[in-house]
Each structure stands twice: as structure tokens, then as C-alpha cells.
Amino acid sequence: MSTISDEFERGARVIVNAALAPWGGAQLCIDAYEASVRTASDLHMNVARTVSLEPVRSVAATLAGATRDIGAAQVSMARWFLDA
């Protein structure tokens, strides 16, 4: 037996999939977002490897880790919501 929250989630998934259909669907949009997070994280790490000034290197490496972790959490939640 479905609850109101189950029906709400199902309806929300339908709306999200319909809204993202012109751009290839929800999965393609999530994949593109994941790729952009990876690119931003890689950019921060390249700065950390290239710059010789230690405070800048440390901040860039920290930003790379934070970007990677926050992006992974967001992608995981989006995939869970749309696959459930």
C-alpha cells in the first residue's frame, strides 16, 4: 500500500525527468554534473601541484577535497532519488 510520501516522491521523479528530458534526461544531466565536479577538483589539484607558495597550495588542495566530497554527496543523493 502506497503512502502519501511515496506518491509524492514518485510524482516528483516524473516531474524532474520530464523537466530534464530536453537535455537528455536526468541521468545524462547528473553525469554531466559529476564530470564538471571532477574537472573543478582536478583544476584545484593542478594548482596545488603547480604553485610553490605553501599557503596557496594548501588552500587549493583543501578546496579540491571539499569540491570532490560535496559533489560526490550531491551526485549520490540525486542518483538515489531518481533511481528509487
Domain boundaries, the chain: 4-83
Q: What is the mean pLDDT of residues 45-61?
A: 94
pLDDT of residue 6: 80
Cα dist from 35 to 11, 32, 63, 68, whole Å: 28, 5, 17, 11
Question: In the predicted model, is pLDDT for residue 2 greater than 90?
Answer: no
Average pLDDT across the chain, whole number: 90
CA distance 63 to 54: 14
Q: What is the mean pLDDT of residues 29-40?
A: 94
Residues 63, 42: contact at Cβ < 8 Å?
A: no
Q: Render the burial of 25-46: b for 16+ CB within 10 Å, e for the rest.
A: ebeebbeeebeebeeebeebbe
Q: Which residue has the cell 560535496?
A: 70
